[in-house]
Structure 1
Amino acid sequence: MNTTLYDVSVWVIPLVIAITFHEAAHGFVAHHFGDNTAWDQGRVSFNPLRHIDPFGTLIMPAILLLSHSPFLFGYAKPVPVNFRALNNPRLDMVCVALAGPATNIALALIAAAAFHLLTYVPENAAQWVADNLKNALVINVILAIFNMMPIPPLDGGRVAVGLLPRVLAAPLARLEPYGMLILIGILILLPLAGSQFGLNLDVISAILRTTTGYVIQCILVVTGNS
């Protein structure tokens, strides 16, 4: 197996699993609280084929990996949720939004705990399994932390909309159509602009990296890997 194919296999597999379980969790919790939209469309499933977006889940991560990008990012087809169909729209929306990041943290814990089982893996496959588990830990924590940013349509934004007083929740909810543009602005364009003037404006990314590192360390401690 050449290095490139090996690298793709140990990054794309855990990424597909992380994104698939994240989206399926949203659909499952929405169904539990009364919205059958995702259920009726067959999206309450842990079958990756029901959630994979050809570009966002496969092509874009592969391009980033092959171009030696400093970060790996991807996304699945968003699970459709009709928040008005939920039994208690505001509170249930919070639960539906939290389901995705919570599932990623659970997967990260499972991956870290599985490090203890590597001694039972055949020697010729141990390194490949270890790299998959390591990347699964990192990817799931990054997805959980990134998605909890309080900007709609990210999960953290929907949690904020559900918990904040309506006077604050309403204007935040109206940002949802522009959420991805805001993210591109603060994560990519703002740092690029700052670098032109010798300023480090990459504050959000620094906070995300620090938080991610802290959560990974906590998971390693909890699972006895520290």
Structure 2
Amino acid sequence: MTDDDAASQVGPISVLVVDDQQVVRKGLVLLIGMLDGIKVAGAACDGAEAVELALKVRPDVVLLDLSMPVLDGVEATTMLRERLPDTAVLVLTTYADDDSVFPALKAGALGYLTKDADDDQVEAAIQSVHAGQTWLDSVVQARLASAVRSGEVVPTRESCPRGSGVPAPALPDGLTPREAEVLALIAQGLSNPEICARLVVSRATVKTHVNRIFSKIGAVDRAQAVGYAYRNDLVGKG
């Protein structure tokens, strides 16, 4: 682990809680506040408030109900992923039906929990999506796999994310989609400051991505990274 990797993991994971039901919202705030290594960054009662508050507090994870007034969870997820690409979205809902599962995953949610999840599941889901991994409730996994087998949906990166139990097109050497995007920009000749401007993220974030990319692909400099990108047909990912 590099110094930058270690620095990026210092401090608790900050979570923004979003649910239109006051009892549920307060319960989640209380639960999350009791988890080790996780803190509550704020709470919102609808999707519009969630986006506005997230832009202010910049949480690591947004725990988001899907059925809300003003702006529903799917629309809020889309806006959050566009405006805060380094914030992971973990959706929470009463139902595990495909009417809400597939749009949420397509919008960019990394995790999907049903409201009967226990505290251990909530904790594990938050930690997983913060690490860039997918977390799907077991009921959701089963429903998604069934839909793919029956031809209801065609497996894609969005509908079959990592950890879903359904194969997704894999990137080489464990690269995440974001890391592949950064690598493609390096191969296109962009400097770290230029990548920051292109992706609208901090220099520290880009530096962390670059360090992780080099570690995964075994590159010692940008020239080797560029060669790797071309060999693995990743240049068009940025």
TM-score, normalising length: structure 2: 0.28
Q: Which has the higher contact order (CA 8 A, sep 6+)?
A: 1
Which structure has greater helix proportion?
1
TM-score, normalising length: structure 1: 0.30
